[in-house]
Amino acid sequence: MSTLNSEDLPRHLAAGLKPLYIVTGDALLLAIEAADSIRAAARKDGYSERETFVVEQYFKWAELRNSTQSLSLFAERKMVDIRIPSGKPGVEGAQALQEYVANLSSDILTLISLPKLDKATQNSKWFVALHQKSVVIQADDIPRSALPGWLAGRLKRQGQSAEPVTLEFLADRSEGNLLAAFQEIQKLALLYPPGLLSFEQVKDAVMDVARYDISKLSEAMLSGNAARFARILDGLRAEGMATVLVLWAMSEDIRKLGRVLQAMQRGSNISNAMRDARIWGASLSQIENAARRVKFAHIERALQQAARLDKTIKGLRAGDVWDELLQLGLRFAKIT
C-alpha cells in the first residue's frame, strides 16, 4: 500500500487509520514510539479491545485465526497486535499471515511489529503479501549526518533549542544510541527552562552515551571524516573490541573500493562496477563517494599497511596495534 518514515507517521494518523500497519526497523526508540502512536490512535478511533500475540518458537497460529473470527460482547471493533521479534514466522506462520491478510476485516485494525528485515525476507511471499495491503513504517536508525536535525526536532517538542555547534556536540555524544540520546534530551527538559540552551549547559548535563560499531568506523574512513574516524576508533578501543575484527572490517571495505576502481580503470561506469563488486545498501553511497577521491595507488599502499598490521596483531612484528589502525584510517580518510 505505502511506506512511511516514522517521523511522518503522526501526520498520516491524523488523516485517518488504515486496517493494517507494519512497523519494522533497527531503531528501538522509533519503533516503540510508532507502535504506541498507532495504538493510541486506534483507542481514540473506537478500537476498544486489543489482543496481543508474541510469536515465539512454539506459538500456536490457530490462536490468531480464532481471535479474528469473533469480537467480544462489549466491543464493536478491536485491535490485533502481532509481534514477531525474530522476523521469521516459520512455514506455518508464513501461510497463516498470507491467509490473514487475504481476509482482513473492517472491524479489526492490525499492527505487526518486526525487526529490520534482510533482503530475502523482504522478498518472501508472506511479507510481499502483507506489504501490498499495509502501511509500512520504517523505524530505521538515524544516520550521523541527520542526527543534529533529529535532536533539534526533539528539543523543539519540549520548547527548547540549541545552536548548531551544540547539536553537533550532542550528536557526537549520542551516536549509535538513539534511546539514550532521547533520555538525555528529556533530562535537559528537567534541568533547564524552555528557550535556547547554551553549549555549557548541555555540556554539563550530557553524558557520553555513544555506542560505536565497526560499520560506522568504515563509514567515517570512506567518507573522509578523519575526526569522526578517530573518535569511533577510540570508542571501540574503550569497549574492548578485538583489533583483528577492526582490521578485517577496514581491509574489507578497502578491498571493495579497490575492485570498483579496477573495474572503472577497465572502462566500466561506477554503477556497473559497484554491482559487479556486490556492493549493496548503505555501502553504495559510501563507496561511490570514496571512488571519486581515491586512486588505486592509495588502495595498494593501504593494503600493504594492513598486511603489516596483521603481522603485528599476530605477534610476528613489533608495534602498537591501535596506533597503527589509527594511522591506516587517518591516511585513508585524509586523501583528497
Q: For the domain covering 214-333, report its CATH number.
A: 1.20.272.10
pLDDT tens sequence across 189-203:
888 899 999 998 888
The domain defined by 144-205 folds into: Helicase, Ruva Protein; domain 3 (1.10.8)
Calculate what percentage of the chain has a pLDDT beyond 70.
96
Where are the domains positioned within the chain? 2-138, 144-205, 214-333
pLDDT value of residue 71: 57
The answer to whether residues 241 and 214 touch, using CB atoms and an 8 Å cutoff, is: yes
Q: What are phi and psi of 113, to 5 degrees?
A: -105, 130
| Main-chain dihedrals φ then ψ at residue 134, nearest 5 degrees | -120, 170
Using the predicted structure, report yes or no on whether residue 75 has a pLDDT greater than 60.
no
Average pLDDT, the chain: 88
Percent of the chain with pLDDT over 90: 45
Task: Express each pLDDT in 251-288 by its tens digit.
Answer: 999 999 999 999 898 988 888 888 888 887 777 888 88
Least confident window among 5-19, 55-69, 90-104: 55-69
Confidence of residue 230 (pLDDT cuts 50, 70, 90): confident
Contact between 103 and 85 (Cβ < 8 Å): no
The yes-or-no verdict on residue 13 having pLDDT over 70 is yes
- State the pLDDT at residue 180: 81
DSSP, collapsed to helix, strand or coil, labels residue 53 as: strand
Q: Given pLDDT bands bounded at 50, 70 and 90, which one contains residue 148?
A: very high
Predicted pLDDT at 58:
84
pLDDT of the residue at 70: 64
Mean pLDDT of 1-7: 85
Select the more confidently predicted residue: 18 or 203: 18
What is the pLDDT confidence band of residue 136, given thresholds at 50, 70 and 90? very high
pLDDT in tens, 307-321: 999 999 988 888 889
Model pTM above 0.85: no
Which pLDDT band, with edges at 50, 70 and 90, does 183 fall under? Answer: confident
Least confident of 104-108, 122-126, 137-141, 150-154: 104-108
* C-alpha cell at position 102: 487475504
Distance from C-alpha of 297 to C-alpha of 302, rounded to nearest angstrom: 9
Average confidence (pLDDT) over 67-83: 75
Alpha-carbon gap, residue 327 to 329, rounded angstroms: 6
Q: Is the pLDDT of residue 186 over 70?
A: yes
Query: Closest by alpha carbon to 24, among 137, 179, 142?
Result: 137
- pLDDT given for residue 72 in this prediction: 53
d(CA 221, CA 76): 57
- State residue 275's pLDDT score: 85
The alpha-helical segments, DSSP class H, found in 69-194 are 90-102, 119-122, 125-133, 147-157, 164-174, 178-191
pLDDT at 336: 63
Q: Domain 2-138 classified CATH 2.60.34.10?
A: no
Q: Do domains 2-138 and 144-205 have the same CATH topology?
A: no
Nearest 5°: the CA angle 111, 114, 116 is: 140
pLDDT average, residue stretch 5-32: 92
pLDDT at residue 96, as a whole number: 93
How does residue 121 score in pLDDT terms, banded at 50, 70 and 90?
A: very high
pLDDT at 154: 94
Say which residue, 166 or 179, is predicted with more confidence. 166
What average pLDDT does this structure show over 224-243?
87
Compute the average pLDDT of residues 202-225. Answer: 82
